[in-house]
Amino acid sequence: MTKSCNMRQDATKSDGMLMYLQAIIGLGKALHGGAIPAPLGAEARNMVLNALGCMVGGSAHELSTRAFAALSPSFGSGRSTLIGRGSTCDAINATMMNALAGAAYSYDDTFSEALLHPVGPVFAATAALAEQTGAKGSQVLGALLAGVEFACRLTASIALPPARCDLAWSQTGIACGAGAALSSGLLLNLSEQQLESAIALALAEASGTRATHGTMAASFIFASAAASGTRSALLAAQDFTAPSEMLSRSFGFWETFSEEPAPGQFLDGLGEDFLLMRNRYKPYPCGVVIFPALDAALSLCGQVPHAGAIQQVVVTVSAKAASLGDRPVPRNGVEAKFSLQHWVAAALVRGQATMEEISAASVANAEIRDVRQKILLRKNPDLPTSAAELTVTLQDGSDHHVSVTDYSGSETHPMTRERLEQKFAGLTHPLLGSDRADRLLRLCNGIEEAADLAALMAESAPPGM
């Protein structure tokens, strides 16, 4: 547990209810304007490294190029960088495009079993406004930490026990807009009243459902949430108002998005126990509910002499994993990202789980396709989402079984900084080249001392752009 940034939590409204927005704004101002404790500073640098790597890597993804072709004629002028493209535009559209790129491969980060992915959308908004305002690196990190913590606490208050929330809601879609609004508003030096309006405006736009899984729209939810945060902060800067009680009022955020909200979890330990420290980075470019079965397949691939030797594969997963990952016949790479059957088959055939496994060629690969057809997916309601069981039966009649109780990249098995840097290299080297990607890595490591983001963003595009 990280202890730091103590702050008062006794602010009340005239009717005696806790001033939830004032509490998070107070924390935000403390992080943005003061020294960042060492553990938080290290985590903020990890956030920047992972998010920026995902944005560079995702900028060339088909969904990014299609969105750019459709929307770039409407972009306004501005100083905010389109990461991976070497051009700039207005802050709202830069936020949207960069958040979209960051979500393209689903290679980002995850907070809790509620499946919130907070860093990409909040960093996209933070970076875009930082370039507009000339903010220092330390201010960028403070604003980023505040926005991510806010998003985590919103999710805790509506979806983590004892709170209950329908799985249909995308936590990223409904929580990250407000987080992005807070980080953006801090960089714009908004007043407390303006910050309340910015957050409330973003909460009013909260949306996104998991019906989009397996389509480009799933990544667009992230982009839309991020852009709503930037837009809300810019509106609030001109005194465009919204009700400050958007969290707690009738028909507000808690009542709308939670079957049984737990507002106390929003404030519990605020400024002392940072929920963002439990956020984890993904070692694989797919949905986190697939990770346990994927780990199991990778551990057994050495016992499979060749794809043709497989007679049957039985995969047993949690109800949530089956609900979100049961896609036996993915038609393209976007669907394959969310296909439990595809990832298990690809891991057994190739012994790896990289972005190459969701390329069009891999989806159409005859060996992977044949193994996908041999997979029997079973749902065990008693199995936690962190676990999976896998049995591979070979043509010679032998069975090979493995049980996974905790997956790679979880809270108990997090990615190390070394692995994060390796992941960053894999995402950035193909587009930027090794020299530029290595310079970008060094700038990420030194961001806290940077006078602004100019050098960092200049290195985020391919040479010559």
Give the 3-state secondary structure of the chain: CCCCCCCCCCCECCCCCECHHHHHHHHHHHHHHCCCCHHHHHHHHHHHHHHHHHHHHHCCCHHHHHHHHHHHHHCCCCCEEECCCCEEECHHHHHHHHHHHHHCCCCCEEECCCCECCHHHHHHHHHHHHHHHCCCHHHHHHHHHHHHHHHHHHHHHHHCCCCECCCCECHHHHHHHHHHHHHHHHHCCCCHHHHHHHHHHHHHCCCCEHHHCCCHHHHHHHHHHHHHHHHHHHHHHCCCCCCCCCCCCCCCHHHHHCCECCCHHHHCCCCCCCHHHHCEECCCCCCHHHHHHHHHHHHHHHHCCCHHHEEEEEEEECHHHHHHHCCCCCCCHHHHHCCHHHHHHHHHHHCCCCHHHHCHHHHHCHHHHHHHHCEEEEECCCCCCCCEEEEEEECCCCEEEEEECCCCCCCCCCCCHHHHHHHHHHHHHHHHCHHHHHHHHHHHHCHHHCCCCHHHHHCCCCCCC
Q: Which pairing describes strands 310-317 and 109-110: parallel, antiparallel, or unpaired?
A: unpaired
pLDDT at residue number 95: 98
Structure tokens at 85: 């493209």
pLDDT at 464 over 80: no
Give yes or no for a contact between 337 and 214, defined as CB atoms under 8 angstroms apart: yes
What is the arithmetic mean of pLDDT over 272-284? 97
Task: Give one word for 16, left, alpha or beta, with left for phi > 0 and alpha for psi -120 to 50.
Answer: left
Percent residues over pLDDT 90 in the chain: 93
Give 160-172 pLDDT, tens digit per residue: 999 999 999 999 9
Give the range among 5-9, 17-21, 240-244, 249-253 with minimum mean pLDDT.
Answer: 5-9
pTM: 0.94
pLDDT at residue number 5: 43
pLDDT at residue number 283: 98
pLDDT at residue number 10: 35
What is the arithmetic mean of pLDDT over 330-357? 97
pLDDT at residue number 244: 86
Q: How far apart are CA 57 and CA 276, in angstroms?
A: 24
pLDDT at residue number 4: 40
Q: List, in order, residues 6 or more apart from 285 with CB less than 8 Å away.
A: 105, 106, 107, 337, 353, 354, 355, 358
Of residues 14 and 298, the one with the higher pLDDT is 298
Give 83-127 pLDDT, tens digit per residue: 999 999 999 999 999 999 999 999 999 999 999 999 999 999 999
Mean pLDDT of the chain: 94
- Domains 20-283+422-458 and 288-404 agree in fold: no
Give 292-311 pLDDT, tens digit per residue: 999 999 999 999 999 999 99
pLDDT at residue number 80: 98
pLDDT at 231 over 80: yes
pLDDT at residue number 261: 96
> Which homologous superfamily does the CATH classification assign to the domain defined by 20-283+422-458?
2-methylcitrate dehydratase PrpD (1.10.4100.10)
pLDDT at 326 over 80: yes
pLDDT at residue number 428: 98
Domain boundaries 288-404, corresponding CATH code = 3.30.1330.120
pLDDT at residue number 390: 98
Query: How far are the Cα atoms of 5, 345, 360, 369 from residue 100, in angstroms, in the given order?
Result: 32, 28, 20, 29
Sequence ranges of the domains in the chain: 20-283+422-458, 288-404
Give yes or no for a contact between 28 and 186, defined as CB atoms under 8 angstroms apart: yes
pLDDT at residue number 465: 73
